[in-house]
């Protein structure tokens, strides 16, 4: 997709669908407890794939690129007594490690085996009753491994006690899972390094229906914060709550502190307005630990590059095992838009900005966030985004919404 040099329209309004993270958690819970109904479900490809997988009775489930679905289904299928399933995905999915989750489930008594490479999908899962109630798992791995265990905890006869070993990564995502569980009536607690999920004693087909309304997605909102920061005009986003379950809602504070974008909440309309301060003085350096919100790091780096603001971002170790190695991809593509950067195993920092003569295509590496995080740079220079359809993974209507708030400079 060719994005010509554009300007930001002022005060346009868009409506982003439900959070993918919350939707996927609720889908697992609604499959476990049939008295749940979900409104404002995410329309992302990941959520649709998970929904389809949960409705499937087939022996083979292919979740393609959907990493969350792979992790959540691994635990879910392990407790489906009497059912045998092969859980597989794309070539990239077969390169994404899952051993820590499988080891934890095996320690609880699950019957899971690797069909190809040890430690990686595809998996053969024979569902059975898990009778053990305590397990240990490293805390510095993907939070989705831990959330996957938390989601099935209340279906175990004695509940589940999870001992988190080491430094905790992406804490807000774990807190989100606990809040989602509490919202549907599942008791839990988190003390020090131990998360406890108490058993749910209600009937699966309880007559009392719990309605869950999914709040809109803050990760998707980040791209419009980037547009507002670069274009210095206001944007309105509907269906957002001032107090969110999502860790990525920290985008409000980050973009206020470093780019002067104020978030004004209009609670009566469930709407927020992103309003850049005209007199804001940009910092000499953005120094930030994004361990709790790694999914918005790409957006931040592109915004900083567009505004030529030096940055040092740490806490990004999980980016190396996402849809692609996001740190390598980010370094490669930032160079194309005028930023020389260096990376470590868990950080990225700018070393020099320069004026690119001509921007070639931005490669997306089959990663939805690469496409969407680089798109706002068209407010600086025209650019081409390869494989525009990759956005369907999390935000299918992104390009339509992008067109609502931007206008090509003729």
Strand order through the sheet with 261-266: 12-15, 235-238, 271-276, 261-266
Q: Are 258 and 37 in contact (CB under 8 A)?
A: no
- Burial of 184-218, coded b for 16+ CB within 10 Å and e otherwise, reads bbbebeeeeeebbbbebeeeeeeeeeeebebbbbb
Query: By the 8 A CB rule, do 250 and 200 touch?
Result: no
Query: Can you tell me whether residue 8 is helix, strand or coil?
Result: strand
- Rounded distance between C-alpha atoms, residue 264 and residue 152, angstroms: 38
**What's the distance, CA 53 to chain centroid?**
19
Which candidate, 21, 16, 19, 38, places its Cα nearest to that of 272?
16
Give the CA diameter of the chain. 67
Q: Can you give the length of the chain in residues?
A: 410
- The closest of 84, 87, 51 to 70, measured between CA atoms, is 87
Residues with active-site annotation: 295
């Amino acid at each position: 997709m060719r994005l010509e040099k554009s300007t930001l329209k002022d005060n346009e309004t868009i409506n982003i669908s439900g959070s993918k993270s919350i939707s996927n958690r609720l889908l697992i819970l609604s499959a476990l407890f049939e008295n749940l109904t979900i409104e404002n479900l995410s329309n992302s490809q990941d959520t649709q794939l998970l929904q389809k997988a949960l409705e499937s009775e087939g022996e083979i489930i292919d979740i393609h690129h959907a990493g969350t679905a792979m992790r959540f289904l691994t635990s879910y299928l392990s407790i489906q007594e009497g059912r045998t399933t092969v859980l597989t995905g794309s070539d990239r999915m077969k390169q994404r490690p899952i051993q820590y989750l499988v080891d934890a489930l095996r320690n609880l008594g699950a019957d899971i085996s690797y069909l190809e490479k040890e430690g990686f999908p595809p998996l053969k899962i024979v569902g059975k009753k898990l009778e053990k109630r305590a397990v240990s798992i490293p805390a510095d791995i993907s939070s989705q491994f831990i959330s996957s265990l938390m989601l099935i905890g209340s279906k175990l006869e004695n509940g589940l006690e999870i001992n988190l070993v080491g430094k905790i990564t992406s804490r807000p995502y774990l807190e989100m899972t606990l809040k989602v569980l509490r919202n549907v009536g599942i008791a839990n607690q988190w003390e020090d390094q131990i998360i406890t999920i108490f058993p749910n004693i209600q009937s699966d087909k309880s007559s009392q229906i719990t309605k869950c309304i999914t709040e809109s997605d803050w990760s998707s909102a980040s791209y419009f914060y980037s547009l507002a920061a670069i274009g210095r005009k206001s944007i309105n986003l509907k269906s957002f709550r001032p107090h969110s379950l999502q860790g990525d809602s920290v985008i409000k504070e980050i973009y206020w502190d470093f780019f002067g974008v104020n978030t004004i909440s209009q609670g009566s309309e469930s709407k927020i307005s992103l309003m850049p301060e005209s007199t804001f003085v940009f910092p000499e350096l953005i120094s930030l630990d994004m361990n709790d919100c790694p999914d918005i790091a790409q957006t931040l780096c592109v915004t900083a590059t567009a505004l030529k603001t030096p940055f040092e971002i740490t806490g990004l170790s999980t980016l190396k095992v996402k849809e692609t190695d996001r740190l390598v991809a980010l370094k490669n593509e930032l160079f194309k838009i005028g930023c020389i950067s260096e990376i470590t195993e868990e950080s990225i920092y700018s070393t020099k900005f320069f004026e690119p003569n001509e921007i070639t295509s931005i490669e997306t590496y089959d990663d939805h966030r690469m496409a969407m995080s680089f798109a706002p740079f068209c407010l600086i220079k025209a650019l081409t985004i390869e494989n525009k359809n990759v956005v369907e993974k999390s935000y299918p209507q992104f390009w339509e919404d992008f067109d609502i708030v931007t206008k090509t400079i003729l």
